[in-house]
Protein backbone atom coordinates (compact mmCIF):
# COMPACT_ATOMS: atom_id res chain seq x y z
CA UNK A 1 0.00 0.00 0.00
CA UNK A 2 1.35 3.40 -0.97
CA UNK A 3 2.12 5.79 1.85
CA UNK A 4 -0.15 8.78 2.26
CA UNK A 5 1.27 11.99 0.88
CA UNK A 6 3.11 14.04 3.49
CA UNK A 7 1.07 17.15 4.33
CA UNK A 8 2.57 20.45 3.31
CA UNK A 9 3.24 23.27 5.72
CA UNK A 10 0.86 26.19 5.29
CA UNK A 11 0.45 29.60 6.89
CA UNK A 12 -3.15 30.74 7.32
CA UNK A 13 -4.26 34.07 8.79
CA UNK A 14 -7.87 33.64 7.66
CA UNK A 15 -9.03 30.37 9.26
CA UNK A 16 -7.64 27.84 11.72
CA UNK A 17 -6.52 28.70 15.24
CA UNK A 18 -5.66 32.28 14.35
CA UNK A 19 -9.08 33.05 12.92
CA UNK A 20 -10.80 31.27 15.80
CA UNK A 21 -9.07 33.41 18.42
CA UNK A 22 -10.10 36.58 16.63
CA UNK A 23 -13.70 35.47 16.10
CA UNK A 24 -14.21 34.39 19.72
CA UNK A 25 -12.31 37.23 21.36
CA UNK A 26 -9.89 34.77 22.99
CA UNK A 27 -6.96 36.76 21.62
CA UNK A 28 -7.60 39.60 24.05
CA UNK A 29 -6.62 37.50 27.07
CA UNK A 30 -3.49 36.00 25.51
CA UNK A 31 -0.44 36.07 27.79
CA UNK A 32 1.66 37.48 24.95
CA UNK A 33 -0.31 40.72 25.11
CA UNK A 34 0.51 41.11 28.80
CA UNK A 35 4.16 40.28 28.19
CA UNK A 36 4.54 42.88 25.46
CA UNK A 37 2.68 45.55 27.41
CA UNK A 38 -0.26 45.82 25.01
CA UNK A 39 -3.15 47.74 26.53
CA UNK A 40 -6.32 49.44 25.24
CA UNK A 41 -5.44 52.71 23.58
CA UNK A 42 -1.72 51.95 23.51
CA UNK A 43 -0.16 51.55 20.07
CA UNK A 44 3.11 49.60 20.14
CA UNK A 45 5.78 48.92 17.56
CA UNK A 46 7.02 45.34 17.73
CA UNK A 47 9.80 43.40 16.01
CA UNK A 48 9.09 39.67 15.80
CA UNK A 49 12.65 38.41 15.41
CA UNK A 50 11.59 34.81 14.71
CA UNK A 51 8.43 35.07 12.63
CA UNK A 52 7.84 31.35 12.01
CA UNK A 53 4.17 30.78 11.19
CA UNK A 54 3.42 34.42 11.95
CA UNK A 55 0.67 33.82 14.49
CA UNK A 56 2.13 35.89 17.30
CA UNK A 57 2.81 38.77 14.91
CA UNK A 58 -0.71 38.57 13.50
CA UNK A 59 -2.22 38.50 16.99
CA UNK A 60 -0.29 41.61 17.99
CA UNK A 61 -1.23 43.39 14.76
CA UNK A 62 -4.88 42.44 15.30
CA UNK A 63 -4.72 44.11 18.70
CA UNK A 64 -3.35 47.31 17.15
CA UNK A 65 0.43 46.89 17.16
CA UNK A 66 2.62 47.71 14.17
CA UNK A 67 4.76 44.62 13.65
CA UNK A 68 7.94 43.92 11.69
CA UNK A 69 8.39 40.20 11.06
CA UNK A 70 11.87 38.78 10.44
CA UNK A 71 12.19 35.29 8.94
CA UNK A 72 15.47 33.83 7.73
CA UNK A 73 14.15 30.69 6.04
CA UNK A 74 13.43 31.46 2.36
CA UNK A 75 10.70 28.81 2.26
CA UNK A 76 8.89 30.03 5.37
CA UNK A 77 9.30 33.65 4.27
CA UNK A 78 7.56 32.77 0.99
CA UNK A 79 4.70 31.07 2.87
CA UNK A 80 4.26 34.13 5.08
CA UNK A 81 4.20 36.43 2.06
CA UNK A 82 1.51 34.29 0.41
CA UNK A 83 -0.57 34.23 3.61
CA UNK A 84 -0.38 38.00 3.97
CA UNK A 85 -1.50 38.46 0.37
CA UNK A 86 -4.41 36.05 0.89
CA UNK A 87 -5.51 37.79 4.09
CA UNK A 88 -5.46 41.20 2.41
CA UNK A 89 -7.76 39.90 -0.32
CA UNK A 90 -10.15 38.17 2.11
CA UNK A 91 -11.78 41.15 3.81
CA UNK A 92 -11.27 44.82 4.68
CA UNK A 93 -10.80 43.90 8.35
CA UNK A 94 -7.98 41.47 7.58
CA UNK A 95 -6.49 43.94 5.12
CA UNK A 96 -6.37 46.53 7.91
CA UNK A 97 -4.57 44.09 10.20
CA UNK A 98 -2.00 43.00 7.62
CA UNK A 99 -1.36 46.65 6.70
CA UNK A 100 0.31 46.88 10.12
CA UNK A 101 2.62 43.95 9.30
CA UNK A 102 5.93 44.31 7.44
CA UNK A 103 7.76 41.13 6.43
CA UNK A 104 11.55 41.06 6.13
CA UNK A 105 13.80 38.22 4.97
CA UNK A 106 17.12 37.87 6.75
CA UNK A 107 18.99 37.02 9.93
CA UNK A 108 17.59 38.93 12.90
CA UNK A 109 21.05 39.17 14.43
CA UNK A 110 22.09 41.30 11.46
CA UNK A 111 18.82 43.21 11.01
CA UNK A 112 18.08 44.16 14.63
CA UNK A 113 20.86 46.79 14.85
CA UNK A 114 19.22 48.60 11.91
CA UNK A 115 15.73 48.69 13.44
CA UNK A 116 13.94 50.33 16.36
CA UNK A 117 10.75 49.38 18.20
CA UNK A 118 9.03 49.39 21.56
CA UNK A 119 9.30 45.60 21.89
CA UNK A 120 11.35 42.76 20.39
CA UNK A 121 9.90 39.24 20.66
CA UNK A 122 11.97 36.07 20.32
CA UNK A 123 10.39 32.62 19.92
CA UNK A 124 13.17 30.14 19.11
CA UNK A 125 12.54 26.70 17.66
CA UNK A 126 13.23 24.09 20.31
CA UNK A 127 14.14 20.43 19.83
CA UNK A 128 11.30 17.98 20.48
CA UNK A 129 11.62 17.35 24.20
CA UNK A 130 10.51 13.69 24.36
CA UNK A 131 9.44 11.12 21.82
CA UNK A 132 6.15 10.64 23.67
CA UNK A 133 5.24 14.33 23.81
CA UNK A 134 2.41 15.31 21.51
CA UNK A 135 3.87 17.83 19.10
CA UNK A 136 1.58 19.51 16.62
CA UNK A 137 2.11 18.26 13.11
CA UNK A 138 2.64 21.74 11.71
CA UNK A 139 5.39 22.41 14.24
CA UNK A 140 7.12 19.21 13.17
CA UNK A 141 6.86 20.35 9.57
CA UNK A 142 8.22 23.77 10.47
CA UNK A 143 11.09 22.21 12.41
CA UNK A 144 11.89 20.00 9.42
CA UNK A 145 12.35 23.15 7.33
CA UNK A 146 14.10 25.55 9.69
CA UNK A 147 15.70 23.15 12.19
CA UNK A 148 16.29 24.26 15.76
CA UNK A 149 17.91 27.51 16.84
CA UNK A 150 21.28 26.70 18.44
CA UNK A 151 22.18 30.39 18.11
CA UNK A 152 19.36 31.54 20.38
CA UNK A 153 21.80 33.02 22.91
CA UNK A 154 23.40 35.15 20.20
CA UNK A 155 19.95 36.18 18.98
CA UNK A 156 18.87 37.19 22.48
CA UNK A 157 22.07 39.14 22.97
CA UNK A 158 21.33 41.01 19.74
CA UNK A 159 17.75 41.64 20.88
CA UNK A 160 18.89 42.97 24.25
CA UNK A 161 21.31 45.30 22.46
CA UNK A 162 18.59 46.57 20.11
CA UNK A 163 16.92 49.96 20.36
CA UNK A 164 13.78 48.86 22.18
CA UNK A 165 11.99 49.20 25.49
CA UNK A 166 11.70 45.51 26.29
CA UNK A 167 12.53 42.05 24.97
CA UNK A 168 10.11 39.14 25.36
CA UNK A 169 11.44 35.57 25.13
CA UNK A 170 8.89 32.80 24.59
CA UNK A 171 10.25 29.77 26.44
CA UNK A 172 9.07 26.29 27.52
CA UNK A 173 7.06 26.63 30.72
CA UNK A 174 9.27 24.52 32.98
CA UNK A 175 12.62 25.00 31.25
CA UNK A 176 15.58 26.56 33.00
CA UNK A 177 16.25 30.20 32.08
CA UNK A 178 18.33 30.77 28.97
CA UNK A 179 22.02 30.82 29.83
CA UNK A 180 24.33 33.54 28.59
CA UNK A 181 21.93 36.46 29.05
CA UNK A 182 20.95 38.51 32.06
CA UNK A 183 18.12 37.52 34.37
CA UNK A 184 14.63 38.36 33.16
CA UNK A 185 12.86 41.25 34.87
CA UNK A 186 9.81 39.02 35.39
CA UNK A 187 7.91 36.11 33.86
CA UNK A 188 4.35 35.60 32.67
CA UNK A 189 3.21 31.98 32.50
CA UNK A 190 0.82 30.51 29.97
CA UNK A 191 -0.52 26.96 29.79
CA UNK A 192 2.49 25.37 28.10
CA UNK A 193 4.95 28.24 27.64
CA UNK A 194 6.10 31.24 29.59
CA UNK A 195 7.24 34.68 28.57
CA UNK A 196 10.50 35.92 30.07
CA UNK A 197 10.30 39.71 29.97
CA UNK A 198 13.49 41.78 29.91
CA UNK A 199 12.72 45.42 30.64
CA UNK A 200 15.34 47.70 29.13
CA UNK A 201 16.77 50.76 30.86
CA UNK A 202 15.24 52.87 28.09
CA UNK A 203 11.69 51.97 29.16
CA UNK A 204 10.12 54.52 31.51
CA UNK A 205 10.79 53.77 35.18
CA UNK A 206 7.16 54.21 36.23
CA UNK A 207 6.04 51.61 33.67
CA UNK A 208 8.76 49.24 34.87
CA UNK A 209 7.54 49.60 38.45
CA UNK A 210 3.95 48.97 37.34
CA UNK A 211 4.92 45.79 35.49
CA UNK A 212 6.94 44.48 38.43
CA UNK A 213 4.04 45.22 40.80
CA UNK A 214 1.64 43.42 38.47
CA UNK A 215 3.93 40.39 38.35
CA UNK A 216 4.15 40.26 42.14
CA UNK A 217 0.38 40.58 42.46
CA UNK A 218 -0.05 37.21 40.72
CA UNK A 219 2.67 35.49 42.71
CA UNK A 220 5.60 35.98 40.33
CA UNK A 221 8.89 37.09 41.85
CA UNK A 222 10.56 39.39 39.32
CA UNK A 223 13.78 39.31 41.29
Q: Is 123 annotated as a binding residue?
A: yes
Domain boundaries, the chain: 43-175+182-217
**How far from 144 is each of 9, 78, 137, 195, CA to CA, in Å?**
10, 16, 11, 25
pLDDT in tens, the chain (223 residues): 444 444 566 778 887 666 656 655 556 768 999 999 998 778 899 999 999 889 999 999 999 999 999 999 999 999 999 999 999 999 999 999 999 999 999 999 999 999 999 999 999 876 554 443 434 655 555 455 444 556 889 999 999 999 999 999 999 888 899 999 999 999 999 888 999 999 997 554 445 555 555 665 555 555 4
Least Cα distance to 34 among 188, 193, 218 occurs for: 188
Q: Is 55 annotated as a binding residue?
A: yes
pTM for the predicted model, two decimal places: 0.78
Q: Is 194 annotated as a binding residue?
A: no
Q: Is 56 annotated as a binding residue?
A: yes
Under CATH, which architecture does the 43-175+182-217 domain have?
A: 3-Layer(aba) Sandwich (3.40)
Amino acid sequence: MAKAARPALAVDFVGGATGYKLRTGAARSHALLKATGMAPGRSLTVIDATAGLGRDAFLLAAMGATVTLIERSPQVHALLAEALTAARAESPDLAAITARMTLLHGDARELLPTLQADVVTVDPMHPERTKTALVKQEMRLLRDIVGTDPDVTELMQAALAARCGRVVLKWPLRAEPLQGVRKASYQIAGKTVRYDVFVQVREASDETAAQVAAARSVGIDPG
